[in-house]
Amino acid sequence: MKRSSQQPRASSTLSKFCVFLFATCLLLCGISSAAPSITLSKKSGPPTSRILVSGRGFEPNVGVDIFFDTKDKALVVTNGKGEFHDAPIYAPRSARPGEHWVTALERNNDKGAQEAFLVQTNWSQFHFDADGTRLNPYENVLNPGSVGKLDVKWTRPVGDAVWSAPAVVNGTVYFGSNNHNVYALDAETGTTLWSYSTGQAVYVSSPSVANGIVYIGSEDSNVYALNARTGAKIWSYTTGGYVLSSPTVANGVVYVGSFDGKLYALNARTGATVWTFNGGSESSAVVSSGVLYFGSGNEVISLNAATGSLLWSYATGNTVFSSPAVANGVVYVGSYDNHVYALNASTGTLIWSYPTNSNVYSSPAVAKGIVYVASEDGTLYALNAITGAKVWSYTTGTFAYSSPVVANGVVYIGAEDTNLYALSAKDGTNLWTYAIRGVDAPPTVVNGTLYVALYDGAGDIYAFSLSDGDRKKADSKRPDLKTLRPDLNLKPAVD
């Protein structure tokens, strides 16, 4: 009896041990056979973006090829846990706007993981970026060969004049209007997403968008910070005069001038004053290598961007409404004394000046050693950036207040009473013309689309693009793992 009573207990202990052993095996097998997954350091960005790829759930100590679409870009070796970390790849310069795929695939089998990457360029502020060159270096849809096929994609009337240049960020177009409103439109359709009413007209101040916030000035003497997704006010800052300049955002600070004669540096998150400088007007500031440049009265002024301390000033012969551009250690700017100036960015010393036949309100664009700037004499000038010698000029025939934009070998500019132009950046050849009145704000060119605002009529916003038949779109189809072919010439980087 005693022996038989111990048999169930021994059997129960053995059963529990077997269950434990089985569960442990399942756990260990689960670790080694978990489905692979990858994470990307960013979900979107322009062509040439650096993307860090990390993976887990792969076999230990095996080679993993990392593809962008179907192109093998890197080979890594997993560690003993079947992981790899921060393997760098780059989105190709030729990657068209739209959805693409990053794939990590074990070499010699079909075990892998995929994540989508959105190729998308943002035109986030008046100058494209903080240095003011007005150059979009990522455009790869519109070029001298294709721009002649541009056509109207959509229009959106807002009911009053628009002098504010559009910013385009994450698929949304932002701008201000004389009807006191700031608008956000869907970049693909022109549908209104939201509007925000300020106390007075949003005149020539163009929006800057950074970290989910839209910054813009109004004639009600305020600088506004609005939620980029909803339009809700985050903060506003009251200056002593009209805010006509476009805010520039760099390193967590908003720089903006006012007609109270001051330039303000504001905390981008809170709106708190960082510093002020006695000197500011309609000219918008630019920031390069920690130095701020802008026009005030008849002077070009350089400040320490962190402290607001004066570094140098240069006096022209009349008011400087033009916003500077900084490239290769040189500041380029126009003046109402009918001249374009090139100044040493470190010292303010004059390098050269070029005379036009009228006022220069336009802000210069700089690309590949050429300065592009318009004059109220009805001419767009292309000047050698080193010497100031004229490379070519193009006569628009009417005032050209608009500032030029350069993207992928094409210069875009509007003439106030006649046309919108696309010209060859190399020689000024007219590649495309669209008859339209009232272009004063600079165009915006991004992701294969040209956006332009009108002050005439109903204050329309126009979007121009190529037809679907003429535009090569991104192939958004997820690659089949079985069809991907590794580059056997790649050398592995061991994690």
The pLDDT profile of the chain, 495 residues, written as one tens digit per residue, is 444 444 444 444 444 444 444 444 444 444 445 799 999 999 999 999 999 999 999 999 999 999 999 999 999 999 999 999 999 999 999 999 999 999 999 998 889 999 999 999 999 999 999 989 999 999 999 999 999 999 999 999 998 999 999 999 999 999 999 999 999 999 999 999 999 999 999 999 999 999 999 999 999 999 999 999 999 999 999 999 999 999 999 999 999 999 999 999 999 999 999 999 998 788 999 999 999 999 999 999 999 999 999 999 999 999 999 999 999 999 999 999 999 999 999 999 999 999 999 999 999 999 999 999 999 999 999 999 999 999 999 998 776 678 999 999 999 999 877 789 999 999 999 999 999 888 888 999 999 999 999 888 778 999 999 987 666 666 678 999 999 999 999 998 754
Question: Do the domains spanning 33-120 and 135-459 agree at the CATH topology level?
Answer: no
- Identity of the residue numbered 290: G
Classified as helix, coil or strand, 350 is: strand
Query: What are the boundaries of each domain within the chain?
Result: 33-120, 135-459
Query: Which top CATH class is 33-120?
Result: mainly beta
Q: Which residues pair with 295 in a beta bridge?
A: 300
Classified as helix, coil or strand, 58 is: coil
CB environment 164-194: b (16+ within 10 A), e (fewer): bbbbbbeebbbbbbbbbbbbbbebeebeebb
CATH code of domain 135-459? 2.130.10.10
Contact indicator for 178, 203 with CB cutoff of 8 Å: yes
